[in-house]
Amino acid sequence: MDAVFSIPDALWQACIDFHGHACGGLAIGYQASRYVMELFAMEQPCVDEEVVCIAENDACGIDAIQLMLGCTLGKGNLLLRLRGKQAFSFYQRETGQSLRLVLRATPEKSREERLRWLMQSAYRDMFDVKPALSPLPELARIFPACRCAGCGETTAENYLRVHAGQYLCLDCYPQYKRILD
């Protein structure tokens, strides 16, 4: 068995168990989470929305962030701003601290060698620490729901649009496009 898969770190093993396998993407999220835990002096995952993460990708590393930091889509403290980058902004509500971790270029290697490199590298050397791109997001809200006049499905009001005096979900709302070629 490869040494990377037998690292005696209970958190790494928990990430593998949660995600389903060990991979480079999971290692990126694991290392980013370790770094944030140090920078925010966290000893355990947050219970509610004490820490917020805005992930700029929807890749494997997010599973490590969910498990290790307690940032989840369901609680509203994991937000996606899809840009295809291995970059994550983190906010600590209590202290007001915020930062953005951006993965530095990694060496070209096979999958196994890259995973080994990601797990053996110091997380401080893997990421650039930059200012967060946006202000701290507001606390998650629960919106009233209404029935879509098109499909009849119940939809949170912040995802409804008014068309011809009727509430329509985003799937039923006719798109208005003006494209000039």
pLDDT tens per residue across span 41-78: 999 999 999 999 999 999 999 999 999 999 999 999 99
Q: How far apart are CA 4 and CA 117, in angstroms?
A: 9
**What's the confidence (pLDDT) of residue 41?**
95
Which CA distances in Å does 142 have to 6, 27, 73, 115? 42, 33, 13, 40
pLDDT digits (tens, 9 = 90+) for 18-29: 999 999 999 999
pLDDT tops 70 at residue 1? no
The residue whose two tokens read 């985003």 is 170
pLDDT of 131: 98
Distance CA 146, CA 167 (A): 8
Q: How many helices (DSSP H) and strands (DSSP E) are in the chain?
A: 5, 9
- pLDDT confidence band for 181 (50 / 70 / 90): low
H helices within the chain, ranges in order?
10-19, 24-39, 61-69, 111-120, 123-126
How far is the C-alpha of 162 from the C-alpha of 169, rounded, in Å?
Answer: 9
111-150 per-position pLDDT tens digit: 999 999 999 999 999 999 999 999 999 999 999 999 999 9
pTM: 0.86
